[in-house]
């Protein structure tokens, strides 16, 4: 399907949604309301569906409009960034990287890579959506981001998955915890200790439960939380121990916490790069992923 639209059509749609008003959007664009309406009608005809619902009090995006809006925002920001970069002598060192990342990787691991990247490319900006695995896949599929860092398990034929690392589950605890004296932990040794885990809606929990069930093991938890960062907070407070992916733990020396590998069985999750098969990465994103992969392999 050919979609014939102009940048101004997209900008008109975005502003009408954000202002919830044709009048205010027309003022911002310095055009008449009738000209703005024609722009919207042209875009709707090109898409083949209504994008706006008009009432006597305000204007709102339809379901199709809501789905289109994140992509429009990203396209306009990349277009504007490209225009500015053309005026700059160092344009090859400017740009915008948009990505979706698992919160566990975004919190501890990703900032170190971004910091190193920005030391070399200080004018390249980032938009990082820290999303769950399912939401991250949807953001990539809808074009809201260029790529995603996600769990293996994607079955969408329009998306590709390139495995990068295996991220093992480890035991996190305070340095003064009795289990911290051991170099390696076995699952039965968790018995008798207050265990903190994420709830069953988490992909990490589902992977853990399934793998342990095959070994006739199960987690007997005392605290159940929604986010892994919360579980680390409880561990820091001395309330218990937590099983979580290694990437979700502090990567360097921590004043209170230590981690230990858990074996028999070793449980891992595969993390990789998710892209649209029809998509193409910007030069800035390609450079960033080169550094990210190199860092992960160290």
Question: What would the DSSP string read from start to end of 125-177?
Answer: EEEEEE--HHHHHHHHHTTSSSEEEEES----TTEEEEEEEEEEEEEEEETTS
pLDDT score at 196: 95
Q: Confidence class of residue 25 from pLDDT cuts 50, 70 and 90?
A: confident
DSSP code, position 195: E
Please state the φ and ψ torsions of residue 102, each to the nearest 5 degrees.
Answer: -55, 135
Does residue 205 register a pLDDT over 70?
yes
Helical axes 7-19 vs 22-29, angle rounded to 10°: 130
Q: Confidence class of residue 1 from pLDDT cuts 50, 70 and 90?
A: very low
CA pair distance 138, 100, nearest whole angstrom: 10
196, two tokens: 């903190």
Segment among 3-7, 116-120, 192-196 with least mean pLDDT: 3-7
Q: Is 264 left (phi over 0), alpha (psi -120 to 50) or beta?
A: left
pLDDT digit string (tens) for 189-201? 999 999 999 888 7
Spell out the residues 6+ positions from residue 139 whose beta carbon is closer than 8 angstroms to its own.
70, 100, 129, 131, 145, 148
pLDDT-above-90 percentage for the chain: 26
Angle of CA points 205, 224, 184, to nearest 5°: 60
Q: Confidence class of residue 220 from pLDDT cuts 50, 70 and 90?
A: confident
pLDDT score at 16: 86
Q: What is the mean pLDDT of residues 6-32?
A: 83
pLDDT score at 88: 52
Using DSSP's 3-state secondary structure scheme, residue 70 falls into helix
pLDDT digit string (tens) for 152-163? 766 678 888 888
Q: Where are the alpha helices (DSSP H) in the chain?
A: 7-19, 22-29, 33-47, 63-86, 103-108, 110-120, 133-141, 203-214, 228-236, 283-297
Spell out the residues 6+ positions from residue 74 whose beta carbon is closer than 8 angstroms to its own.
98, 143, 144, 145
């Amino acid at each position: 399907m050919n979609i014939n639209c102009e940048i101004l059509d997209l900008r008109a749609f975005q502003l009408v949604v954000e202002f919830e008003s044709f009048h205010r959007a027309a003022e911002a664009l310095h055009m008449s309301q009738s000209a703005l309406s024609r722009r919207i009608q042209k875009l709707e005809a090109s898409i083949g569906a209504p994008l706006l619902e008009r009432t006597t009090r305000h204007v709102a995006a339809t379901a199709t409009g809501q789905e289109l809006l994140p992509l429009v925002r990203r396209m306009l920001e990349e277009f504007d960034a490209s225009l500015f970069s053309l005026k700059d002598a160092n344009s090859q060192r400017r740009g915008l990287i948009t990505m979706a990342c698992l919160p566990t990787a975004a919190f501890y691991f990703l900032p170190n890579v971004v910091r190193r990247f920005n030391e070399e490319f200080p004018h390249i900006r980032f938009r990082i959506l820290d999303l769950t695995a399912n939401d991250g896949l949807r953001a990539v599929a809808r074009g809201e981001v260029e790529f995603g860092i996600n769990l293996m398990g994607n079955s969408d034929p329009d998306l590709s998955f390139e495995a990068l690392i295996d991220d093992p589950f480890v035991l996190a605890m305070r340095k003064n915890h009795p289990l911290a004296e051991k170099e390696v932990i076995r699952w039965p040794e968790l018995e008798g200790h207050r265990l903190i885990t994420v709830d069953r809606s988490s992909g990490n929990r589902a992977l853990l439960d399934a793998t342990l069930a095959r070994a006739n093991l199960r987690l007997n938890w005392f605290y159940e939380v929604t986010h892994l960062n919360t579980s680390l907070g409880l561990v820091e407070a001395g309330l218990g121990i937590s099983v979580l992916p290694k990437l979700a733990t502090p990567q360097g020396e921590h004043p209170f916490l230590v981690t230990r590998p858990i074996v028999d069985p070793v449980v891992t999750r595969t993390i990789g790069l998710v892209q649209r098969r029809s998509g193409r990465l910007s030069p800035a994103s390609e450079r960033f992923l080169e550094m990210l992969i190199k860092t992960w392999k160290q």
